[in-house]
Structure 1
Amino acid sequence: MNLINLFSSVLFFSLQQLEGGAASAADPAAAAAEAPSPHLAAAAAAAAAAAAAHHHQAEFAAAAAAAAAAGASPLQPLQPLQPLQPLHQLQQLQQLQQLQQLQQQQQQHQQQQQQQQQQQQQQQIGEEADDEEYDKSELLLKETAAAANSIKPRAVVFYRLLLLIALVLSLYAITREVDEEGSDYEEEDETVEYRAAPMGDTEKLLEKPSKRGV
């Protein structure tokens, strides 16, 4: 509908100019008074140019031809302006940027928490290992002390037994030496008596039982 109105207005102005041209031959003053102003023709040409810029080039050519027939210089088509972004879209973009920043901050915070947890776990593992080693060493010391305490009475008993055996052996050796010495003395006495006895008593000495071995 806008295009139809524009074309009708352009045709109307062109017809007025044609009629004005015919009347100017009869009355130049009246024609100059009734002729449309150049401002109106320029406005019509600008409207046609704007319509052509938003629609089709062929329509713009027709409007430009009509404007040229009306006495106005054709205008170049205007470049369409970039549509401005609505305010709510800008707000949404800002909100999205804020959400992205919050997500990045949350991710960094989570990474820091994970690193702290890993460090704490490693520390706990190290402390547990140290505690286990300390417990093992302490248990080993206790076991060695208990073994030493259990060995001490056994060693004492064994030592006393060895002393008793040594004492018995020494007493046996002493009694044996005494017996051997006594037997030697008896043999010497017998030989002495045999040598000192007269010829008649030798037979008695031979018949006398020997005390050796008693």
Structure 2
Amino acid sequence: MHFHPDKLVFGVAPGILKDCAQQLWSNTGKADFCEEDFFKALGAPAPEGQSVLRELIQADFVAHSRARPGRYDYTRLFGQLACAKISNGIPRLEANELLVKIMGAVDQVNAQPDRYEHRVKKLAVFGSWLGETPVLGDIDIAFELSEIPHLCAVREDEDPLICRHRTSASYSRAARALRIRQPNKVSLHHLNDVIRLGTFYQFLFWDNKRSVADGLELIRNHRR
């Protein structure tokens, strides 16, 4: 999901609306929310907040709770709103070129186990790239990494806490490689989070099932 920074969304600046969605969506202690929760997260008085909430309901971002009258349920679109990209966008041709570089990064990580201590197990693309729009907000990438057991295990005379820090750092290093130094154009998400949101995605790479070459072929054959 992509928003232009200069265009209002449901009458609200996109950054404010995204921040509101993130606050509510990350509140894992609640399965739903009330109007007061929404007004507080939006940072708006009740009259303005009610107007925005009505538009979100009409657009299917929020639904009236059937189990708890007077409260509201999150929808799949609301989860996507929390992850939305706010930018001027990138042309599809450039997006394809960036995807090719990302596939190259998969090869790089998997070919250098001693440096990354992880393998890219799965890589998928979702969001606007799968559609036909000529300008994308960014490239939404879902990934899954797996540890290389003998490299991530506790080494001789190594403190377990140091091992955890080392393994965490190597995980972050592998994930950063997939961003190809383009944090404003490549948006990384854990694959499990994308699945949890019910978002449609397309695998580019799946260890032992789809190769990097398969992913490159899919990119070449996609609409330009």
For Structure 1 versus Structure 2, the TM-score category normalised by the shorter chain is: under 0.3
Larger radius of gyration: 1
TM-score using structure 1 length:
0.19
TM-score, length of structure 2 as denominator length? 0.18
The structure with more helix, counted as a fraction of residues: 1
- The higher relative CO (CA closer than 8 Å, separation ≥ 6) is in 2
User: Which structure is higher in strand share?
Assistant: 2
